[in-house]
Amino acid sequence: MKKIAIGIDIGGTNTVIGAVDQDGNVMVNRSMDTPKHDDFEKYINDLSGEVKELIKSVKLLNEDITILGIGVGAPNGNYYNGTIEYAPNLSFKGVVHVVDALKKNFPDSYAIALTNDANAAAIGEMVYGGAKGMKNFVMYTLGTGVGSGVVVNGDLVYGHDGFAGECGHTMLIPGGRLCGCGARGHLEAYCSAPGMKRTAFELLALYNAEDSLLANRSFNELTSKMIYEAAVKGDKIAIEVFEKTGEYLGQGLADTVHHLAPEAIFLFGGPTAAGDFIFKPAYESMNRHLLPIFKDKIKLLPSKLKLGDAAIVGASALVWKEIEK
Amino acid sequence: MKKIAIGIDIGGTNTVIGAVDQDGNVMVNRSMDTPKHDDFEKYINDLSGEVKELIKSVKLLNEDITILGIGVGAPNGNYYNGTIEYAPNLSFKGVVHVVDALKKNFPDSYAIALTNDANAAAIGEMVYGGAKGMKNFVMYTLGTGVGSGVVVNGDLVYGHDGFAGECGHTMLIPGGRLCGCGARGHLEAYCSAPGMKRTAFELLALYNAEDSLLANRSFNELTSKMIYEAAVKGDKIAIEVFEKTGEYLGQGLADTVHHLAPEAIFLFGGPTAAGDFIFKPAYESMNRHLLPIFKDKIKLLPSKLKLGDAAIVGASALVWKEIEK
């Protein structure tokens, strides 16, 4: 008998659903448009229909299958209440009770649970990825924003209200860059993909770098991928963008270590594809910012989750953790 | 039958020992000079002798008493190993195995455990103080340095290596004041008692404040208590010292909230005796630095442990937590 967990990733544009086995392989997946269902009741019913179709198609592959449950990753997802609360980029507003609604439609599931996307990635790393067997680690997800998930004594830290792990909004440079949340100087404004672009534009301005490969792109054109490609070609500005991003990130990671003394910090997301360009300066900076008792002891590791399906794989991992309890 | 836990606080100058009941009352205490015993073996034997004397005198008060165990608070105390590791201000150097040594001398104890002083204070708050019943909170201890203890899901967070909770060494102002640890800009350099004195001297210089009550004290004379007394008398510089210290502290506390989403943060130590002078600006600053999802939700509370005996009371609390396990 093969055991399967369903992972659902609710995003502003698409909702992606996958059937994931115990090794973290996505057996089948489906996708639906999120904003077309702005009535939450209709959204959940359509989503449940998609999940039922998914289960049908998995059972075509292998009849001897048990579906253990459903894990959901969503922005502003609250684990304790099973709710999404005031997510700025989703079409349904206010507080919506996702887990309760799914439980009505799937009364036979052993476990249905929800958390935010970065927490789901951390659980995914613990269940299927590089954090297997680790009891204390932290996951940083670098993308449009910077998310994080904190694991202590083998359990994800949700905090008092379910919203722990917002390390992207810790203070990096008081009075510094405007952050998407409206405050200034947060880590996210420096270490996200758009943060890297902002660093590139600062450096172009600083050095008047007309000969940089990045000098012919508008602010709205430039991506972190282009910065990586330029760095590979030896572009000095691009290389310095990574060095500065690593320096910024390492300062923030050291603060996380000083709170939690984890065994390792994992980095996930587009900018981490640059490998040593980002990992080397980030590790060097983290280590330099640490108290002597922590120096050379904390690992900085790339996530082992595949970028493409990490969101549903992470969400599905919630199910295995729930069943463990 | 009355149950008693022994608390030992190992400090650079004195080692204090107390017998503490389940309500956190110190029934008897004793003290010995720490550096007079620089051979660790001699120190532990003398300390064990003191503990035995203490137990005798408790039993004189009440024959029907059970001694449950011994909890130790010490700088650089490592819970996992029961060791003190490279404590800069203690006379015994390197790594010393305190718990192992005490177990030899007290083989009948149910529990013997050790942690650092700030962690002990956090456990004390949870067992006897204002954090009773709280599952997620953080303790900041403001004194010569700034320590912290983190509680998640009802357990103290020790991290991978036993050294979690060094929030005093998170970055507050990159490139800022020199910290005792040798780095620059750490919270401890701004929010400890000496940090307040440094702020006072900056403000005296900034305003050329010859008429301030603080203007006739040398750098080595001025204490945080004097600043408090001047603030009570309406001294503008002293009041601004508290405002700035609260502003600094609130920024750091917000970073802690963004990591851990605690129900409350407790403040302990000399500078907190100033009450609203410090709590009001610290709360206002913390709240202003928080993401909207956390605003107005996190309590900032004074520790309920008595300043004088908090160290032994906190250390003794370790025993009740161990027995709970």
Contact A173 B174 (CB under 8 A): yes
List alpha helices for chain B, DSSP H.
Answer: 40-61, 98-105, 117-127, 188-191, 193-207, 224-232, 236-260, 276-289, 310-324
At A118-141, the pLDDT tens digits run 999 999 999 999 999 999 999 999
The answer, yes or no, to whether residue A88 has pLDDT greater than 90, is: no
Is B259 an 8 Å CB contact of chain A? yes
User: For residue B260, which residues of chain A lie inside 8 Å, CB to CB?
Assistant: 150, 157, 159, 164, 259
**Selecting from 1.20.140.10, 3.30.2420.10, 3.30.420.40, 3.40.50.720, what CATH number does the domain B137-302 have?**
3.30.420.40
Give the pLDDT score at B88.
80
**For residue B154, what are its two tokens?**
């009802």
* Distance of alpha carbon B291 from alpha carbon B202, whole angstroms: 31
Give the pLDDT score at A35.
83
For the beta carbon of residue A81, count every other beta carbon within 10 angstroms: 16
Which residues, listed in sequence order, are joined to residue B148 by a DSSP beta bridge? B140
CB proximity list for B228: less than 8 A, separation 6 or greater: B238, B242, B271, B273, B274, B277
Of the residues B79, B139, B166, the best mutation for testing chain A's interface (the one with the most A CB atoms within 10 Å of its CB) is B166
Residue of B nearest to A149 (CA): B259
Identity of the residue in A165, A171, A291 whose CB atom sits nearest the CB atom of B169: A291
For residue B93, name the pLDDT band (cuts at 50, 70, 90): confident
The three-state secondary structure class of B263 is: coil
At B129-151, the pLDDT tens digits run 999 999 999 999 999 999 999 99
Of all residues in chain B, what percent carry a pLDDT higher than 70?
100
The three-state secondary structure class of B291 is: coil
For residue B89, name the pLDDT band (cuts at 50, 70, 90): confident
At A159-184, the pLDDT tens digits run 999 999 999 999 999 999 999 999 99
Of all residues in chain B, what percent carry a pLDDT higher than 90?
88
* Distance of alpha carbon A73 from alpha carbon B22, whole angstroms: 44
At B12-33, the pLDDT tens digits run 889 999 999 999 999 999 999 9
Give the pLDDT score at A296.
97
The three-state secondary structure class of A94 is: coil
Contact B159 A292 (CB under 8 A): no
For residue A302, name the pLDDT band (cuts at 50, 70, 90): very high
Mean pLDDT of B79-103: 91
Give the pLDDT score at A235.
98
Mean pLDDT of A213-229: 97
Give the pLDDT score at A161.
93
Of all residues in chain A, what percent carry a pLDDT higher than 70?
100
The answer, yes or no, to whether residue A38 has pLDDT greater than 80, is: no
Is A77 an 8 Å CB contact of chain B? no
Of all residues in chain A, what percent carry a pLDDT higher than 90?
88
A128: left (phi over 0), alpha (psi -120 to 50) or beta: alpha
For the beta carbon of residue B296, count every other beta carbon within 10 angstroms: 7
Shortest Cα–Cα distance, B163 to chain A (Å): 6
CATH 3.30.420.40 domain residues, chain A: 2-129+308-324, 137-302
User: For residue B258, which residues of chain A lie inside 8 Å, CB to CB?
Assistant: 166-167, 169-170
3-state DSSP percent of chain A in helix, strand and coil, to 5: 40, 25, 35
Q: Is the dihedral of CA A109, A110, A116, A120 positive or negative?
A: negative
* Distance of alpha carbon B76 from alpha carbon B82, whole angstroms: 11
The answer to whether the CB of A117 falls within 8 A of the CB of A147 is yes
The answer to whether the CB of A294 falls within 8 A of the CB of B169 is no
Of the residues A83, A166, A300, the best mutation for testing chain B's interface (the one with the most B CB atoms within 10 Å of its CB) is A166
Give the pLDDT score at A87.
86
Is B80 an 8 Å CB contact of chain A? no
For residue A63, name the pLDDT band (cuts at 50, 70, 90): confident
Whether ipTM > 0.85 holds is yes
Residue of B nearest to A255 (CA): B170
E strand spans, chain A:
2-10, 14-21, 26-33, 65-73, 77-78, 83-85, 95-97, 111-115, 137-142, 146-152, 155-156, 264-268, 299-302
Contact B263 A160 (CB under 8 A): yes
Identity of the residue in A85, A167, A260 whose CB atom sits nearest the CB atom of B159: A260
Q: Is the dihedral of CA B32, B36, B39, B42 positive or negative?
A: negative
Residue of A nearest to B252 (CA): A171
Domain B2-129+308-324, CATH? 3.30.420.40
**For residue B318, what are its two tokens?**
């370790």
Contact A291 B165 (CB under 8 A): no
Of the listed ranges A90-94, B152-156, B250-254, the one predicted with least confidence: A90-94
Shortest Cα–Cα distance, A162 to chain B (Å): 8
**For residue B84, what are its two tokens?**
């003190």
* Distance of alpha carbon B209 from alpha carbon B205, whole angstroms: 7
B219: left (phi over 0), alpha (psi -120 to 50) or beta: alpha
Mean pLDDT of chain B: 95
The answer, yes or no, to whether residue A189 has pLDDT greater than 90, is: yes
Task: Write the single-letter amino acid at B185.
Answer: G
In eight-state DSSP terms, residue A130 is T
The answer, yes or no, to whether residue A30 has pLDDT greater than 90, is: yes
The answer, yes or no, to whether residue B38 has pLDDT greater than 90, is: no
